[in-house]
Structure formats: structure tokens, C-alpha cells
Amino acid sequence: MNYFDPYRTELQLVFSEAKRRIAHFPEPFNESGLAYLRKFDVFERESSKNYICYLLPYWINETSSIPIDQCRMLSLSNVFSMLYYFLQDDVMDETPAAWKEQLALAHLCHFEMEAILRELFAASSPFWGYRQRYMNEWASAVVQEDKHDYFMTDIVQVAKKASPLKLASTGVLLLANRPEKIASVEELVDYSLVLLQMADDLTDWEDDLTEGNYNCLISLIRAKRQSIHPLQASEAESYIYDRSLMTEYCNRGKEVFGILNNAEIGIAPLLSFSYFIYEGIAGFTNRVENTRRTLLSGGFDYVLSNFQYK
């Protein structure tokens, strides 16, 4: 994984520093904070590995040149930003009884993020204007995605829930005095995040259907069925496994990757990561379609070959 392996030692330093800072939170938030961090620690076996969150400043620095300690600080800031926004998401999904500790821990993480960024950027830096814009994008996406059905109407908006992540790439470019690259890099990051969201939604569609969360795959299914009746899991499975819906879903992912692959600015690790994500969608699609074709072409012979007489 050339988007990860060259930066392994750096990430060990980043997560060690994150643990050190969280360990100094007041009780009981030091223990709960460390437990929450473990869910996303790239070095934990069962963790959710948000590579782009931790590695984006290092990837962008392949085309820029800022000191490695600044890159490390931006990665660390993104770790605390990630914890903050995931805790916010958890609060949106939890009952009010669980809000108190979640919100308190979230604000401790937010304070750490702010402290790190203030070390890197003066109050007069344009960085803070970008920060405000990314927060606005996040807030709008959280409440608007299901109303506007972004996957079907404006696919790049699917990425906006993760907009604060772009603080790392924009931060690198500002520190490197390359602000003219910011808009182009923002677009690349957004499209990479679209692919990542599509892959996550392919994994999580059943939970999202049950919980009423917006989901790109479910959006495509609903566009195909055009029914006012609630979508049931069994019907969604039929679209995914029996009706070639995955081919269209994968083709949308291919279009998104094509935008990344043909961009004027080339950021090799980001492209490699994006291709890895697209390959996961394409691999699942191929398995589904191969099974479907086997069943259709084999027909009765396939059934007989898999039936064991007793």
C-alpha cells in the first residue's frame, strides 16, 4: 500500500502524541477518549482505518515542501478533528441520555485541534476563512443530503460531510506558500471522498436503511424503483444481487475515479488510495455479476450440481 507504508513511522508518532494528549484529559474523559481513539487507530487490528484523514497532509506534501514536523502537526490536528466530528455524529444517533459525556469529550478534542492549529497559523492567516467554509459545508451536508438526494443530483456534494478533513491539505499548501493550488486540490480530495463514501455505503446500506440514514446505494435503488412505499431490505437485496444495479453503481464510481485520474494536478498517493477504494467497489460488483450470470446460464444444471441427495 504505497499510500500508507512510506508513512508508517510518521503515523506511529502521530498516534503516540494523540494518546499522550488524551491521557491528560480530566477523568473520566482520559479513559473514554483513549477508548474512542482505539476505534480509529490505524495500528489497531479491528479499527476503522480512515487513511485519508491521517495521511492527507503527507500526500499533499509530495507536491509541496513543508517541514515534516508541520506535516505531523496537521495530521495530528486531523485526528482530533476526526474524533470531534465522529462524536458529533454519534450524538445525532444517540438518545439524549448519552449526550452529556459525548459532547464533553467532543469539545475536549475540539480544543486540542484548535490549539494545534493556532501554533501553525496566525490569526490573520487565510487558513481560518477556509476553516469556516469547510465547517459550513459540513453543517449544510448533514441536514441537506437526504432532502436534495446529492448522489443523484450533484454527486460531489456527497463528500461535503467530510469537508473539515480538507483543513490538512489546505494547511499544507498555505504553509508552502502555494495558495493557487488550493481549489484544484480541494476538488481532488472531494472526489476521492465521494469514492470513499460510496464504498462505505455499500458496506453499511442495511444499517442505514434501518436507521433512516442517507446512503448512496439506497439512493440509486430508490431512483430505480420509483415507489412511494417504504423500501424493504429484501427488495434492496433483489436490486443489488438480481437486477444488475451494482453495475450502474460501479460505473458511477469509475466516472469519479476517471476525474481523479485525468486531473491536471497529480498526487500519486491520493490517486493510489482512490484506486484502491474503486477496486473494492469493482471487485464486489464483479463477484455479484459473475454469480448472477452463473445462475442464469446454468439454470437447472446448476441447481442439480449443488443438490445433494440423501
To the question of pTM greater than 0.85 for the whole model, the response is yes
pLDDT level of residue 92 (50, 70, 90 thresholds): confident
Mean pLDDT of 16-45: 96
What whole-number distance in Å separates Cα of residue 206 and Cα of residue 90?
Answer: 18
Q: What is the pLDDT of residues 215-266, one digit of tens each?
A: 999 999 999 998 888 999 999 999 999 998 999 999 999 999 999 999 988 8
pLDDT for the residue numbered 292: 83
Q: Rounded mean pLDDT of the chain?
A: 92
pLDDT level of residue 310 (50, 70, 90 thresholds): very low
Q: Quick one: which of 35, 76, 22, 21 has its CA closest to 54?
A: 76
Mean pLDDT of 61-80: 95
pLDDT for the residue numbered 192: 97
Q: Give 96 or 132, the one with higher predicted confidence.
A: 132
pLDDT for the residue numbered 309: 41
